[in-house]
Structure 1
Amino acid sequence: MIRSFRSALIAMAAVAACMVAEPVSAQTFTLAEMGLENAGACLKLAVRDRASNAMVPLGCITSGGTGPNFKFTPGSLTMQGALYAADLSLAGTFNPPAVMAAAGNRISFCPELSCVRGPGSGPNAGAVDPAYFDHQRASLLLSGPSQLGGQAQEQLLAVIGTAATGSVSAWQASKAYAAGAEVNRVNSNESGAVYRARNAGTSGTNPPPAERPQSLPYSFNDGGVTWDWINDPVLAAKASVYVEQKVKPGAGGTWGQATNVLLDQGLVPSFHVNTELDIGNNSGTDCGFGNGDCFNLFVRSGGSNMLTGNVQIESVPHGPPYAAYFGLRVTGPRTAKYADIVTDSFGAVGLGVCTTGTDDCTHADASIADAAKSPISLHIRQRGTGTMHSVSAIVDDTTTPTSLNVAGSKTYAAIFEHSTTPISMLISGTKSSSSIVDDSTSPTALNIAGTKSIAGIYEHSTTPAGINLSGTYSRSQIEGTGWNVSPQGVLTAAGAFLSGFFKPAQYTAAGLPACNASGRGAVATITDAGGAINYRGIIGGGGSAIAVVLCDGANWIYH
């Protein structure tokens, strides 16, 4: 088997040389340009180096129960040269077991979730027609089904990186540096420069330039240290995988990266994830904010023009009523210390619900629902000094039937507002029912505390009534310290100071309420006093005089 295999390799080498190098007319071949060892645990395959006439091993071939295997031994493999016709051998074949490479996107392949194999698609697909096959190509194809049971994790591509070099610190003045130490100088726009110390020494007070030099090599004398420029700061990092795509004029739709997962019919779901991102910190130091940042997922946008957005989560326009239980979920008791979601941007709205105007979205229950056991459902708080919200902490300018609907049972207060903002709550717009409705069984409907520069309640509208109390009150309509208004509208106060005149209610003598013990001390005015009007004399009617009268607990008397 090995002898015939050797002959085939020699023929294959001659054909391959014609395909990847010069035209056939420019080639001169001699037999034994490629050779295979006769004996050994792994038979070496070698190609002759024409300069030295020595045989250079490319790898070795083993044969056994799993069939012939070829092991590459060179430290690098380069594929370049003229681009020939595409390899269509696997076009139209769903996910075959294959590893294929050809520079210039010359491998035609057929992923099952997006393969074009004939007219129609899905349940309307017609017959398989090879004329439709060649619709996806790649330079490198890794394809195949899993092979093992639960004894091993399988992946078509494993990229494993170990970063143990490249630590760069900010340049410091008057600091002792060792030879080979690396520092950076970074500008506010993240441009700058990375330098390496040519020798050990102490830096001076004049830092090296924070910019890429115009020519190389470039060095900078800094006190007792000579710095050599080596890189830009944004490139002084390590990555296990780097993907770059530049979209030029003439391009159609593009993806920097696309991963598709479909749970097939008949599968009993267990744990299935499209992409998992794991990061752990066992360094002994917590990551910070702004310097020493550590993120599991970092999304950044830029350019001279705006994008539509940084992240979008959506569903396909067909299928069940809902594609998932939730669009975005943050869970776990140790996930976040300060907040599950933080917005530190300067957009028009920090958190918007249906604010783009592109979708007429409707939430069956509520736009925002809080079923947590947190001490506070919505906390609007001061940060630092000065005015935080120039208009109001909460503004509702909709035309909904109710501006704020508080229901349920609260142990302390339905609304507890104790900020120092200019306005506690500003309500504008047109309400068909009421600005605020409280139909709960809370001890207090509205509790106002804190320090207000004007008033606890400031009502300065042009409505017919500033405050309308028309309910049923078992104790009082209004209660205050030292005063109250009874359910019948009687004002009781510890004292009173009138800056104007006092005008008691007017009656005729016959129309006065009954004078009894409960009405003792009541004061009124009669408009038909008659007979002798004597102080503390019993009143009489039938006249035309006006007199002030007092109830002494039994009779109305002149006062």
Structure 2
Amino acid sequence: MGTGYAKPYAASTAYAVGDNINVGNATYRAERAGTTGANSAPPGSRPAKAPFIASDGTVRWQWINDAMINAKVGSYFETEVVDGAGAAWGAAFNYHIRTKPRAGQFFPGVEFDYANDSGADCALGVTDCTAIRVGLAGNAQVTHGLQITGDGSETTGYSAIWALRINGEKVAQQSSIEVDSMSAVGLGFGISGIGTSAHGVAAIRDVSTSPRSIQIAGVKSSSAIEDTSTTPTFANIGGTKSLAGLREASTTPTGILLQGRYAAAQISGTGWSVNPAGILTASRLNSPLATPASSKAPCQAGDWAHDANFVYTCIAANTWKRAALSSW
């Protein structure tokens, strides 16, 4: 497209209705013809809200888009919905497969092939290069930034194998899905009350061989994981682990803190449990034989030890008493 379709902007210059101009990183279209002012050019950046109208002399400019987008564009679709227009689409692509797909055949509804052969990597905030961008604006809220729906299949019951798939050995350097918004929930399932059917296997499933299934970092004000559901168990751990089913190695004040109301036990395992009152019940209790050095050996009240001849109990700080053992 050469240098683009926008005309050079100049002060005290006549423009016709429909003329496009670039000012800084903003593209405007003249919705009213006239002559620009001597020093009243429209802003050269994206407005806070759209639509945005700027008066310049006797010309009325309407902001269209960023100049870097509109200067050179392969296809440009512009739709303005006004009162009485009814339902409207910016663009509609209707694609219907009526032949039986076979191995090796390719049936994309819409395909975007995007490559960077410039010799320089794109950097976020500096030279953003985006294959597909959805920009939301206006003074009212929309329902979806991106929506994928399906009516189901008569044979399988589902419209697709994957509603959204990200594949490729090195498709993304940092993360396959990055959520940087300030919404109440970063990733929600059934949170809107729409499509809340139970998932057959799991809401989130990881069967990869990644070093970690979930990695949590950063400073959290409440908790890293919060479970307020009424499920039978919070975490169900199975399989063979090389180290531990659950490992806590932080420097927090408490590794595991139980503060709920438990009807049967605070924690239980095979042959042992701790009841709601904190009483330990175990089928067997085993500790190594040990003998305090003397009755004044260091200890805290409640410590105990035993050897082949005595049972020792610490009744106060650094104060041991003992009872003899006998055979029967």
Name the TM tier (shorter chain): 0.5 to 0.7
Kept in 1, the 8 Å contact 2:27–2:66? The answer is yes
CA separation in 1, counterparts of 2:232 and 2:185? 24
What secondary structure is seen at the aligned counterpart in 2 of 1:278?
Answer: coil
CA separation in 2, counterparts of 1:266 and 1:463? 58
Q: Where does residue 451 of structure 1 map in the other structure?
A: 251
Q: How does 1:343-358 map to 2 (within 5 A)?
A: 343-358=179-194
User: Which runs of 5 or more residues in structure 2 are unaligned?
Assistant: 7-21, 29-40, 45-53, 275-280, 293-297, 314-321
What secondary structure is seen at the aligned counterpart in 1 of 2:310?
Answer: coil
> In the superposition, relative to structure 1, how do residues 486 and 356 fare at CA in structure 2: closer, same or farther (>3 Å)?
closer
CA separation in 1, counterparts of 2:245 and 2:304? 39
TM-score in terms of structure 1 length: 0.41
Q: Where does residue 67 of structure 2 map in the other structure?
A: 235
TM-score in terms of structure 2 length: 0.67
Q: Where does residue 214 of structure 1 map in the other structure?
A: 56
Give, in angstroms, the shift of residue 293 of structure 1.
Answer: 0.7
> In the superposition, relative to structure 1, how do residues 319 and 289 fare at CA in structure 2: closer, same or farther (>3 Å)?
same
- Look up the equivalent residue of 1:214 and give its one-letter code: D
- Look up the equivalent residue of 2:124 and give its one-letter code: F
Q: Where does residue 249 of structure 1 map in the other structure?
A: 83
Kept in 1, the 8 Å contact 2:310–2:323? The answer is no
CA separation in 1, counterparts of 2:100 and 2:265? 67
> In the superposition, relative to structure 1, how do residues 455 and 466 fare at CA in structure 2: closer, same or farther (>3 Å)?
farther
- Look up the equivalent residue of 1:350 and give its one-letter code: G
Give, in angstroms, the shift of residue 367 of structure 1.
Answer: 1.0
> In the superposition, relative to structure 1, how do residues 499 and 232 fare at CA in structure 2: closer, same or farther (>3 Å)?
same
Q: Where does residue 308 of structure 1 map in the other structure?
A: 143
Q: Where does residue 390 of structure 1 map in the other structure?
A: 221
CA separation in 1, counterparts of 2:166 and 2:159? 18
Q: Where does residue 550 of structure 1 map in the other structure?
A: 324
Give, in angstroms, the shift of residue 292 of structure 1.
Answer: 1.3
Give, in angstroms, the shift of residue 465 of structure 1.
Answer: 7.9
Q: How does 1:106-505 map to 2 (within 5 A)?
A: 161=1, 185=24, 210=43, 214-215=56-57, 234-235=66-67, 237-265=71-99, 268=102, 270-316=105-151, 319-320=154-155, 321-382=157-218, 388-415=219-246, 447-452=247-252, 454-461=253-260, 463=262, 467-469=266-268, 471-472=270-271, 488-492=284-288, 497-499=299-301
- Look up the equivalent residue of 2:57 and give its one-letter code: S
Kept in 1, the 8 Å contact 2:312–2:323? The answer is yes
CA separation in 2, counterparts of 1:448 and 1:288? 37
CA separation in 2, counterparts of 1:376 and 1:468? 26
CA separation in 1, counterparts of 2:2 and 2:262? 72
Give, in angstroms, the shift of residue 216 of structure 1.
Answer: 8.4
CA separation in 1, counterparts of 2:190 and 2:64? 42
Give, in angstroms, the shift of residue 264 of structure 1.
Answer: 1.3
CA separation in 2, counterparts of 1:449 and 1:459? 17
Give, in angstroms, the shift of residue 350 of structure 1.
Answer: 0.8
Give, in angstroms, the shift of residue 381 of structure 1.
Answer: 1.3
CA separation in 2, counterparts of 1:293 and 1:409? 44
Kept in 2, the 8 Å contact 1:523–1:550? The answer is no
CA separation in 2, counterparts of 1:389 and 1:244? 44
CA separation in 1, counterparts of 2:55 and 2:86? 37
- Look up the equivalent residue of 1:458 and give its one-letter code: L
What secondary structure is seen at the aligned counterpart in 2 of 1:349?
Answer: coil
Q: How many residues of Structure 1 are paired with residues of Structure 2 in the alignment?
A: 265
CA separation in 2, counterparts of 1:520 and 1:464? 41
CA separation in 2, counterparts of 1:549 and 1:414? 40
> In the superposition, relative to structure 1, how do residues 395 and 550 fare at CA in structure 2: closer, same or farther (>3 Å)?
same
Give, in angstroms, the shift of residue 335 of structure 1.
Answer: 1.4
1:384-426 CA distance string (max 9 Å, x none): xxxx2211000110001111111111112223xxxxxxxxxxx
Give, in angstroms, the shift of residue 499 of structure 1.
Answer: 3.7
CA separation in 2, counterparts of 1:549 and 1:361? 64
Structure 1 counterpart of 2:309, from 507, 515, 520: 520
CA separation in 2, counterparts of 1:165 and 1:285? 27
> In the superposition, relative to structure 1, how do residues 259 and 312 fare at CA in structure 2: closer, same or farther (>3 Å)?
same
What secondary structure is seen at the aligned counterpart in 1 of 2:66?
Answer: helix
1:167-220 CA distance string (max 9 Å, x none): xxxxxxxxxxxxxxxx9756xxx799xxxxxxxxxxxxxxx9955773389xxx
- Look up the equivalent residue of 1:550 and give its one-letter code: A
What secondary structure is seen at the aligned counterpart in 1 of 2:177?
Answer: coil
- Look up the equivalent residue of 1:357 and give its one-letter code: G
- Look up the equivalent residue of 1:497 and give its one-letter code: C
> In the superposition, relative to structure 1, how do residues 490 and 358 fare at CA in structure 2: closer, same or farther (>3 Å)?
same
CA separation in 2, counterparts of 1:465 and 1:268? 58
Kept in 1, the 8 Å contact 2:114–2:131? The answer is yes
- Look up the equivalent residue of 1:285 and give its one-letter code: A
- Look up the equivalent residue of 1:410 and give its one-letter code: K
Q: Provide the aligned C-alpha RMSD in A.
A: 4.0
> In the superposition, relative to structure 1, how do residues 498 and 400 fare at CA in structure 2: closer, same or farther (>3 Å)?
same
- Look up the equivalent residue of 1:456 and give its one-letter code: G
Give, in angstroms, the shift of residue 488 of structure 1.
Answer: 2.5
1:255-274 CA distance string (max 9 Å, x none): 11111111214564611111
Give, in angstroms, the shift of residue 450 of structure 1.
Answer: 2.2
What secondary structure is seen at the aligned counterpart in 1 of 2:90?
Answer: coil
> In the superposition, relative to structure 1, how do residues 303 and 241 fare at CA in structure 2: closer, same or farther (>3 Å)?
same
Greater share of helix: 1
CA separation in 2, counterparts of 1:462 and 1:319? 48
What secondary structure is seen at the aligned counterpart in 2 of 1:522?
Answer: strand
> In the superposition, relative to structure 1, how do residues 360 and 233 fare at CA in structure 2: closer, same or farther (>3 Å)?
closer
Give, in angstroms, the shift of residue 251 of structure 1.
Answer: 2.0
Q: How does 1:33-52 map to 2 (within 5 A)?
A: none
Kept in 1, the 8 Å contact 2:150–2:159? The answer is yes
Kept in 1, the 8 Å contact 2:311–2:324? The answer is yes
Give, in angstroms, the shift of residue 362 of structure 1.
Answer: 2.2
What secondary structure is seen at the aligned counterpart in 2 of 1:405?
Answer: coil
Give, in angstroms, the shift of residue 521 of structure 1.
Answer: 1.5
